[in-house]
Amino acid sequence: MKAEDLQQVRPAFHDPALGSQAVFRAALNALSHPGRLNHMPRVTELPSHGHGSAAALLLAMVDSDCAVWFSPALANTDTAAWLRFHTGCCWAASPDLARFIWVATGDALPALSTLAMGSDEYPDQSATVVIEVNALSEDAAQGASAFNLRGPGIADMQSLSVRGLPQGFVEQWEVNHQAFPRGVDVFLTTVTHIAGLPRSTRIGATQEA
């Protein structure tokens, strides 16, 4: 990273301990209750590209042992430099080499089946995918794809409406779910909220916008 780039990097958590704990709680709640919306607290200065909730999420989850792949809209921005500077992460040359994948709004989703899926013995050695979308709601929303979610962490059925989900996601998710305990976990993000889709979650009765 060049010296002039460092001058443009914004600060990270206002309070490193409290900030990371708040974000971890939101992430844990999102994965423990799939499809439920969680507000992401504003605990950090944010880069100028990408969703703030996605930036905070990865700031808390990524460390120097992680390789991160950024979709084209993020790859050559201050956002990638910001995350690398504050976490020490390295940049993955391709999605299949990454532990974390950050897909910006409007960018194509890498095929989930080509990502790190872990193994039956070590399912935790899999990728986590953060996907920016235009809107999330637990109620039916006009112009959105309506999902009925079932699985661990859901008492009966959880409704989730998503606007701006990458094309082909539902079909890819079915293959990902069938690979359980292998497979990737997904966070969907708006500017201020996140929703979790762990690999154990089933998506049914979908209605495309």
Q: Rounded mean pLDDT of 199-207? A: 82
- State pLDDT tens for residues 12-51: 777 878 888 999 999 999 999 999 999 998 877 888 899 9
Q: Is the pLDDT of residue 4 over 50?
A: no
- State pLDDT tens for residues 143-174: 678 999 999 999 999 999 999 999 899 999 99
Q: Is the pLDDT of residue 2 over 50?
A: no
143 occurs within a structural domain: yes
79 occurs within a structural domain: yes
175 occurs within a structural domain: yes
135 occurs within a structural domain: yes
pLDDT given for residue 169 in this prediction: 94
56 occurs within a structural domain: yes
Structural domain range at position 95 = 11-106+114-207
Q: Is the pLDDT of residue 209 over 70?
A: no
3 occurs within a structural domain: no
DSSP class per residue in 61-117: H--TT-EEEE-HHHHTSHHHHHHHHHH--EE-SSGGG-SEEEE-TTSPPPPGGGS-B
Instruction: Provide the pLDDT confidence category of residue 1 given band limits of 50, 70 and 90.
Output: very low
- Residue 47's domain is classified under what CATH number? 3.40.50.11310
> Cβ of 141: how many Cβ atoms within 10 Å?
16
5 occurs within a structural domain: no
1 occurs within a structural domain: no
- State pLDDT tens for residues 87-114: 999 999 999 999 999 999 999 999 999 9
Q: Can you tell me whether residue 3 is helix, strand or coil? A: helix
pLDDT given for residue 17 in this prediction: 82
Q: How many domains does the chain have?
A: 1
